[in-house]
Amino acid sequence: MLIRKTADIPASEVTPKHWYVNRRKFIAGASALGAAALVSGYDLMSEPEHAFGGTAIPGIQKSNLSTTEKETPYKDVTTYNNYYEFGTDKSEPAEQAKNFRTRPWTVTIDGLVAKPKTLDIDAIMKLAAPEERIYRHRCVEGWSIVVPWIGFSLSTLLKQVEPLGKAKYVKFTTLGDGKQMPGLRPGILDWPYREGLRLDEAMQRLTMITFGLYGELLPNQNGAQLRLTVPWKYGFKSGKSIVKITFTDKQPDTAWNTAAPNEYGFYSNVNPNVDHPRWSQGTERRLGEFSKRKTLMFNGYDEVASLYSGMDLKRNF
């Protein structure tokens, strides 16, 4: 019998806990019924439709890019979410996204590239060893979190399509499925949700394509199957449930910048010197804590400062 070490097994080959638990229940039930249910030939393992939080990702490498700050508890990160496709209240996504189907899942990468591709989630997860990066995040509403994300640098994925010299920006389009997402109502945002980065921002090593957190696959409410993670920008820049990535020579329209351009700029860098029109951005409260702390420029990720050398960061907010 061939025994494989955990580190040798890609995450895409790990049986989600939900599947094998149901499989055991099915086998037990079939035995009690004289295995009558097996006649149909239906295999509970053959149609994976969901991404289940709780499914461990093997072979995770620790990153030296991680912060040493205390992690926000898993429960807080997975039950207090901004994900308007599943409701505008922070507690709604965890409840409303329970039955969100995330298999099959593909991402199309097109636009100003030499080799446009459509990749499924398993192919994307095999591009690089999964890496844990503990990042701090700042939300425009004044709260912040520290999360151990699992993924790899977005540049690894983007290089697969060989961007052309004319490409200056990258646009991200997320899933907009009204049948599964009860929050897709008119008058909230122009759906589907869209975000964008300048090409050099997208290729910066801190920018992640993310498929897990806390050592496990992303729960639905946190952006399964695939999300963006940009730690020096406000949280809404990190689009969830990405299905399309487009290279363009023009600054793309984005959901919040289109809805309220005076409140949500295209760049949306964490900048304590630029207040939101309705509240200060000078301080923040870590989720689960009472006291406030000063907000750091670029959320403390000073290595990205050179990307904006010479720019007026109050005008380009």
* Domain range annotation of the chain: 11-48, 57-308
Please tell me the number of Cα atoms within 13 Å of 55 on its side-chain side.
Answer: 24
Termini Cα distance of the chain: 59
| Single-letter residue type at 83 | Y
Residues 153 and 166: their CA atoms lie apart, in Å, by 22
- The answer to whether 270 touches 233, Cβ cutoff 8 Å, is yes
Question: Quick one: residue 87, left, alpha or beta (phi over 0 = left, psi -120 to 50 = alpha)?
Answer: left
SS3 for 77? helix
Residues 133 and 149: their CA atoms lie apart, in Å, by 5
Q: In this structure, what token pair is assigned to residue 236? A: 């809404």
Please tell me the number of Cα atoms within 13 Å of 140 on its side-chain side.
Answer: 19
Question: Which CATH number does 57-308 carry?
Answer: 3.90.420.10
- The answer to whether 137 touches 145, Cβ cutoff 8 Å, is yes
pLDDT of residue 23: 39
- Rounded to the nearest angstrom, the gap between the alpha carbon of residue 310 and the centroid of all alpha carbons in its chain is 30
| Single-letter residue type at 7 | A
pLDDT of residue 53: 62
Residues 24 and 224: their CA atoms lie apart, in Å, by 25
Q: Nearest to residue 81, comparing CAs of 220, 178, 213? A: 220
pLDDT of residue 15: 43
Per-residue pLDDT tens listing for the chain (317 residues)? 444 444 444 444 444 444 434 434 333 443 333 333 332 222 323 333 433 567 999 999 999 999 999 999 999 999 999 999 999 999 999 999 999 999 999 999 999 999 999 999 999 999 999 999 999 999 999 999 999 999 999 999 999 999 999 999 999 999 999 999 999 999 899 999 999 999 999 999 999 999 999 999 999 999 999 999 999 999 999 999 999 999 999 999 999 999 999 999 999 999 999 999 999 999 999 999 999 999 999 999 999 999 999 999 999 99
Please tell me the number of Cα atoms within 13 Å of 287 on its side-chain side.
Answer: 22
